[in-house]
Amino acid sequence: MSLQDHEAFLRSIHPFELLDTKEIARVTRAMTIAYYPKDTVLISPTILPQCLYIIIKGEVGEYHNDQLIKVYHNPNSFDADALLYNKTDDTFKVHEELLCFEIKKEDFKALLETNEAFKAYFLTDLANRIQSAKQKEYSTQLSGFMIAKITDTYIHEPCIVAPQTPIMEALRKMDSMSTNCIIVDDEEAGSYGIVTDSTIRKHVLYNDYDKFGPIGPIALRPIITIEEDDFLFNALLVLTKNSIKRIVVTRRGEIRGILDQLDLLSYFANHTYLVSVQVRKAKTIDELMRASQDFVNIIRKLHAKGTRVEYISKVISELNEQIYRKLYSMIVPQELQDRACFIVMGSEGRREQMLKTDQDNALIIKDEADEEAFKPLMERYTKTLIEFGYPECKGNIMVSNPYWRKSLRAFKEELARYLESPRKDDYMYLAIFYDSIAVAGDEKMLAELKDYIYERMGGKDIFMANFAKAALLFETPISFFSNLKADRNRLDVKKGGIFSIVHGVRSLALKYKIAETETIKRIQALKSKHIFEDGFGEALIEAFDTFLNLRLKEQLWCIDRGEKRDNFIRIDRLNQLEIELLKDSLKIVDKFKRFLVHHFKINMVQ
């Protein structure tokens, strides 16, 4: 191997790609190649290392108290901790003839002193190591997409006028500044308004408002703003959520300019906003259905750019909710729309659904309303969603089912029974319902039901232990020796990791009356209540993101090949970094399960 080959090999190993050109050249010249036969003990409590080993070929086992706990192979390195802290409780023994690079201790420490990012990887905890490794994985595709700030794109100079300014004068000022909207600064009211071309058309052309009259009365309020140091992706979310064409950019509350939809979309080059507009403008169910068909392409493009799954799911959830809301307005007569509340539950309620899966929805009807009037409407609603490509729920958890379409009073009675004398499926039903969010109709009814649950949770320790133990239902697919447990190279990442985190976090959220439904937001709320030890909340979030990302990658691969998608990932399709991320994430799941057993005293009810 030439020096160039050595450099390329090192750069392919995380975190050595963090080194700059001079640093990588220096360490390449300094490292040597060594050979060790089988059964050689390289490191032990009495044999401290003088170098960092990087495996080219072969296998090394790490033992603790004579028990094998980990196996290293190409391109793993070991043991930085023993090298840095000059002690170890473990023994490293060659399993198969070893060919490796050796970096002397002094050279390794010199790299740590000159490169903070490289140093941070070896001196931080497991959660941060996962995050660092994932950043490396994402950065091969990222190209600045997710780290772009508002200031990285073009911001138009704001045209600001007083409310008493005549409309024609304000328009001339807008033209002179080559902008396309007017900000109205009402100092007396202490607020801003905005006037766009559509505002002018509506009031001046259609409503005969005097074009020489003051501009203040026609301004739209309140304006929607975003801080200039925020991420462009968040601006995209705001545009999508509100179906607007521009957003006002501020710096600590002071207006700095206007971010236009076209400039933003040219930066992202995806169809998210277009779909949102198509949903808003749809006048028939067929038009709405056409707008919902391009979600897979949006997901594929965002994923290919390295977007975190958390953000992809937020965009898709927002679009889904817009479709559900619009369809509700199309099917339910105006006089009935506020007589009920349409909710989505499960992964949709947690805003974690991306590719269309089973419907999980319900309808809460006001006590004094006619429940029968909603029967044909909701049957049509379910049928239409199926036509849109949202599969029928195998468990029949849909608004077409009378059990999930009933009065507020009936829901309260059922929730009370769940908590007082639960039957077999009631724990599952409560879990599904607890993840619900209101999409259309009178949202206050759902809030009333959530409060009803909280009021009755006091002293329910045995109930909570039984509720939480479902998180332990599936085995974590990793062995004591840190080997993945896969069946024919396939691993069910939902059963093995995602479900345990989702349900465990849901159980904690229910106990501590946390209103958030998204798993990551629930973890953050639990962190703020100091439920976890320092750093563990971050570890859970990183593990959760790893599982979702690997599953989405596999599902998109199946779609591209016309194969059935499921919750399995193929181990033989993962690169070495992804395998290490998966292993570390599964270890975090195991630790979380132990935490749940202790926290809820689950052993007392098993």
If you write DSSP's letter for every residue of 245-275 in order, what string do you get?
SEEEEEETTEEEEEEEHHHHHHHH--SHHHH
Pick the CATH number of 469-604 from 1.20.120, 1.10.3470, 1.20.1440, 1.20.1250: 1.20.120
Residue 421: name the closest of 409, 413, 432, 410 by CA: 413
Each residue's pLDDT tens digit, 455-505: 998 889 999 999 999 999 999 998 877 788 888 889 999 999 999 999 999
Asked if domains 150-268 and 272-456 share a fold, the reply is no
Give pLDDT < 70 ranges for the chain: 1, 123-147, 265-274, 304-306, 606
Asked if residues 153 and 264 have their Cβ atoms less than 8 Å apart, the reply is yes
Q: What's the distance, CA 283 to chain centroid? A: 32
Q: What is the pLDDT of residue 142?
A: 43
Q: What is the pTM of this model?
A: 0.67
23-50 exposure pattern, b = at least 16 Cβ within 10 A, e = fewer: bbebbbeebeeeebeeeeebbbeeeebe
Assess contact for 592 and 540: CB atoms under 8 A.
yes
CATH 3.40.50.970 fits 272-456, yes or no: no
In this structure, are residues 568 and 490 in contact, taking their beta carbons and an 8 Å threshold?
Answer: yes
Question: How far is CA 260 from each of CA 192, 300, 474, 476, rounded to the nearest angstrom?
Answer: 18, 25, 48, 47
In our burial notation (b when 16+ CB lie closer than 10 A, e otherwise), range 421-449 reads: ebeeebbbbbbbbbbbbbbbbbbebbeeb
The predicted pLDDT at position 132 comes to 56
Domain ranges of the chain: 3-123, 150-268, 272-456, 469-604
Which residues have a Cβ under 8 Å from the Cβ of 61 and sit 6 or more positions away? 68, 70, 71, 72, 92, 93, 95
> What whole-number distance in Å separates Cα of residue 52 and Cα of residue 15?
13
What pLDDT is recorded for position 270?
A: 52
- Compute the distance between CA of residue 589 and CA of residue 476 in angstroms, rounded to an integer: 7
Exposed e or buried b for every residue in 488-497, given b needs 16+ CB within 10 A? eeebbbbbbb
Report yes or no: 483 and 582 within 8 Å, Cβ to Cβ.
no
Q: Which CATH architecture has domain 150-268?
A: Roll (3.10)
Read off the tokens for 167: 């409309």
Q: Determine the pLDDT at residue 520.
A: 94
Instruction: Pick one of 2.60.120.10, 3.30.710.10, 3.50.50.60, 3.90.79.10 as the CATH number of 3-123.
Output: 2.60.120.10
Q: Where are the strands (E) in 125-203, listed by range?
A: 160-161, 181-186, 191-196
Using alpha carbons only, give the angle 4, 7, 9 rounded to the nearest 5 degrees: 110
Task: Please give the pLDDT value at position 128.
Answer: 58
Nearest to 323 by CA among 389, 244, 235, 237: 389
Residue 368 pLDDT: 94
